Amino acid sequence: MRKEMFQHEISVLRDTFRRLIRRHAKTNITKLITKTHPADMAVLYRFFTDMEQKTLFDLMMDTEQVSEFLTELDEPIILNLIGDEPPEKIAKLFQKLGVNDQADILALFSDEKTQSVLDLLNAEKQEEVEEIMSYPVDSAASIMTTDIFTLHQNTVAYEAIKELQKQEKSEMVFYLYITDDDNRLTGVISLRDLVTTPPETSLVNIMTKNVVSVRPETDQEEVAKIVARYNYLAVPVVDMDDSMLGIVTVDDVVDVIREEATEDFLQMAGAGKDREILLKSSWENVKSRLPWLFASWVGGVLAAFIIGKFEHMLETTVALAAFIPVIIGMGGNVGTQSSTIVVRGMATGRVEAGGELKLVYKELRVGLILGVLYGMLLGVFTLLPFIEAPASLGIIVGLSICSSMLIASFVGTVVPLVLQKIDVDPAIATGPFVTTSIDILGVTLYFLIASVVSGVV
């Protein structure tokens, strides 16, 4: 009985492959490749050198596993592995791959290279691949499997089972899709219902008629939501005439959900949206991380400018400077909490139209409670004799923390809601916008409160 593949086993396997490569033991390597799950091979590849990757891949080219291996492999590694190979070799490799996997790989190449590979495919394959490539990235079409098989609704159960026995290629046959005379999708039958039905029954009598389907251009995130909500194993993709183009299977949906979560994570932290950032060079890292830092730089510079305007106040009360970090820090953190809760709530369907005002109101209440608590806590702290400070400093700092936290929870909640309304992905822009504006608003409020209180007290 094979147990899960643990971290430890991955290391052992990696070392074994390395040893065999050093000894040029080709037969043993091929044997080990066929015994290793392609998904595990894909994980191992993250730890091999370029040379090791190429050596193993040349041996893998002739195995049946190469197709599943490439589906599981990280994109930068695919590019590294076959990006420089001549079109002929890639066209040969494509014979082992599904149309969708071919389209995915071509999407990594330059237009010129893509064309030269396409030219080498036969006319029918070429057309299929080009059709898939014509749909937007991250659409249902880009993740669907086109190797499907449908049956006419007048087929009887035992004929359907016979048909099934002829299909070798179709992936994940657990549902049978049923069509009418016009080739329109009219129903679906689970394999289980088919098996447990009398052999002479017409499929039309046992099929489920309300089939939930998606269009090829539907966003993959939307497809994932449907599959997750209704616990489907697959969802059919149909064109405008309700004719079936393919299916999106749950294993691809699992990948989409993880990938979308990773993208959201990176975007919220202002680190771009490249899921494979860990595999990219330092320069590419710098390039994807630079823009958000620029937003934050602008915020910081504006804050410096505002503080400069209050120079005279700082001259009389130097102690004011000491509390700048805590005021913008606490504001920034409350704002990040609020925006994370809202952005994630949108992604999981928990923030939906109609509840926005209630949500803003609740976040304001939370911001106020937290602001009052920490305002008092910090106000008391300023009374400690660690810095030369006027008696009013406690009131200034306490009020500032309180109001900056209140405003931050408002900004953190409203920004993603507004972004969604105007059709900008809330995950992309929320992070930079919220922290930058809180930096600026925080210091402005602080020094305004300081001038008012100093004038009054």
Those residues with Cβ within 8 angstroms of residue 424's Cβ, 6 or more apart along the chain or in another chain:
none
Establish if 7 lies at the interface with its own copies (CB under 8 A).
Answer: yes
Choose, by CB under 8 A, the member of 110, 112, 240, 354 that binds its own copies.
354
Sort 116 into a burial class: Cβ within 10 Å, 0-12 / 13-18 / 19+: middle
Decide whether 94 or 447 has the Cβ nearer to its own copies.
Answer: 447
Residue 143 CB, shortest distance to its own copies, in Å, is: 13
Contact segment (CB under 8 A) with its own copies among 51-59, 102-110, 118-126, 260-268 equals 260-268
Decide whether 37 or 54 has the Cβ nearer to its own copies.
Answer: 37
Establish if 255 lies at the interface with its own copies (CB under 8 A).
Answer: yes
Decide whether 126 or 444 has the Cβ nearer to its own copies.
Answer: 444
Secondary element (H or E) of residue 86: none
Contact segment (CB under 8 A) with its own copies among 97-105, 111-119, 295-303, 449-457 equals 295-303
- Cα–Cα dist 320/390, whole Å: 10
Choose, by CB under 8 A, the member of 53, 100, 179, 213 that binds its own copies.
213
**Pair 336, 344: CB distance under 8 Å:** no
Establish if 328 lies at the interface with its own copies (CB under 8 A).
Answer: yes
Choose, by CB under 8 A, the member of 23, 26, 89, 350 that binds its own copies.
350
Choose, by CB under 8 A, the member of 352, 422, 455, 456 that binds its own copies.
352
Angle of helix 426-456 versus helix 324-347 axis, rounded to 10: 150
Instruction: Report 142-171 residues binding its own copies (CB under 8 A).
Output: 161, 164-165
Residue 229 CB, shortest distance to its own copies, in Å, is: 5
Establish if 47 lies at the interface with its own copies (CB under 8 A).
Answer: yes
Beta bridge partners of 246: 237
- Residue 196, Cβ neighbours under 10 Å: how many? 10
Give the total residue count for the chain.
457
Establish if 455 lies at the interface with its own copies (CB under 8 A).
Answer: no
Sort 141 into a burial class: Cβ within 10 Å, 0-12 / 13-18 / 19+: buried
Establish if 32 lies at the interface with its own copies (CB under 8 A).
Answer: no
Establish if 303 lies at the interface with its own copies (CB under 8 A).
Answer: yes
Secondary element (H or E) of residue 105: helix 99-106
Backbone torsions φ then ψ of 175, nearest 5 degrees:
-120, 145
Establish if 307 lies at the interface with its own copies (CB under 8 A).
Answer: yes
Establish if 214 lies at the interface with its own copies (CB under 8 A).
Answer: yes
The residue count for binding its own copies (CB under 8 A) is 134
What single string gives the DSSP state of each residue in 146-180?
----EEETT-BHHHHHHHHHH--S-S-TTEEEEE-
Q: Which of 38, 19, 20 is nearest to 29 (CA)?
A: 20
Establish if 12 lies at the interface with its own copies (CB under 8 A).
Answer: no
Decide whether 123 or 384 has the Cβ nearer to its own copies.
Answer: 384
Decide whether 134 or 196 has the Cβ nearer to its own copies.
Answer: 196
